[in-house]
């Protein structure tokens, strides 16, 4: 797990894994930030978040995340977003954007003219009885090999870009670095953008619209 205090602070990390519970995570954060003043917390969660609340337990961590009181545990106000949505928010530069997080799984987020729409598209059946995540996640890459995996990324990006009528696609997550050539209309993201997204969660007013596109951004300009 990685964390950062303020927009330009050092990125710090501590070990996670299948036994990591929210109580243990909070205790570790309190310990590591005892000399670092901060006023609020933004959490990027690897799972389903509905209206700012964790709605399902994670696949790769311990239990107890649903209903956990992070504000009480950390002693600060807390806002939570899906981790892919947070990185997408930090990558956004206006218009209609599709974000694909290519990592252990597949995180998918739409931002449509400033409105953030996290999705579970990665779990929707794609073909041959497999989901989009089965094709583009890490297990799919290992099963099919890098060449077929890269081809799958290009095909799926093209299909989703056309179907969702987005202006551009951002490819984030650790496996984005494995792409030799980016699909047309796509650009490479950066995992550090998740920290920018965390700041943006707090810079905006409460409500659905989390980000106002910059005035210079125009549809089709990307």
CA 157, distance to chain mean position in Å, is: 17
Kindly list the distances between the CA atom of residue 203 and the CA atoms of 44, 61, 148, 196, 210, in Å, as whole numbers in the listed order. 16, 29, 41, 10, 9
In whole angstroms, give the CA distance from residue 99 to residue 56: 21
Same domain for 141 and 176, yes or no, is: yes
Q: What are phi and psi of 87, to 5 degrees?
A: -65, -35
CB 191: neighbour CB atoms within 10 A? 18
If DSSP codes are grouped into helix, strand and coil, which group holds residue 89?
helix
Pairing mode, strands 78-82 and 41-45: parallel
Q: Tell me: do 19 and 63 sit in the same domain.
A: yes
In a shared domain, residues 143 and 113: yes
pTM of the model: 0.79
Q: What is the per-residue pLDDT for 205?
A: 46
The predicted structure's pLDDT at residue 151: 96
Q: According to the model, what pLDDT value does residue 64 have?
A: 97
Q: How high is the pLDDT of residue 201?
A: 87
In whole angstroms, give the CA distance from residue 99 to residue 124.
16
- The CB density around residue 103, as the number of other CB atoms within 10 Å, is 19
CATH number at residue 7: 3.30.420.40
Q: What is the pLDDT of residue 204?
A: 65
d(CA 210, CA 201): 7
Does 93 lie in the same domain as 28?
no
Question: Is the Cβ–Cβ distance between 100 and 106 less than 8 Å?
Answer: yes
Residues 38 and 9 in one domain: yes
Residues in the chain: 222
Token pair, residue 208, equals 């659905």
Alpha-carbon span 156 to 91, nearest angstrom: 20
> Each residue's pLDDT tens digit in the chain (222 positions)?
999 997 778 899 999 999 999 999 999 999 999 999 899 999 999 888 888 899 999 888 999 999 999 999 999 999 999 888 899 999 999 999 999 999 888 989 999 998 888 788 888 999 999 999 999 999 999 999 999 999 999 999 999 999 999 999 999 988 999 999 999 999 999 888 999 999 988 886 444 344 444 333 333 333
Confirm whether 159 is domain-assigned: yes
Q: Are residues 169 and 192 in the same domain?
A: yes
Is the CB of residue 80 less than 8 Å from the CB of residue 43? yes
Tally of structural domains, the chain? 2
Domain enclosing residue 90, as ranges: 85-203
- The verdict on residue 131 lying in a domain is yes
């Amino acid at each position: 797990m990685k964390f950062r205090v303020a927009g330009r602070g050092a990125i710090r990390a501590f070990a996670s894994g299948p036994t990591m519970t929210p109580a243990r995570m909070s205790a570790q954060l309190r310990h590591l930030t005892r000399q670092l003043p901060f006023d609020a917390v933004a959490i990027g969660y690897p799972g389903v978040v509905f209206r700012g609340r964790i709605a399902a337990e994670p696949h790769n961590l311990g239990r107890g995340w649903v209903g956990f009181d992070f504000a009480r545990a950390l002693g600060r106000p807390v806002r939570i977003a899906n981790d892919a949505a947070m990185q997408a928010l930090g990558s956004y530069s206006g218009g209609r954007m599709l974000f694909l997080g290519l990592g252990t799984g597949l995180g998918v987020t739409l931002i449509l003219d400033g409105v953030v729409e996290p999705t579970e598209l990665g779990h929707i059946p794609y073909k041959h009885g497999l989901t989009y995540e089965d094709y583009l996640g890490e297990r799919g890459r290992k099963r099919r090999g890098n060449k077929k995996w890269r081809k799958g990324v290009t095909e799926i990006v093209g299909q989703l870009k056309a179907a969702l009528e987005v202006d551009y696609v951002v490819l984030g997550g650790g496996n984005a670095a494995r792409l030799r050539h980016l699909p047309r209309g796509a650009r490479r993201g950066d995992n550090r953008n998740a920290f920018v997204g965390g700041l943006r969660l707090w810079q905006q007013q409460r409500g659905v619209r989390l980000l106002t596109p910059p005035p210079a951004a125009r549809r089709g300009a990307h």
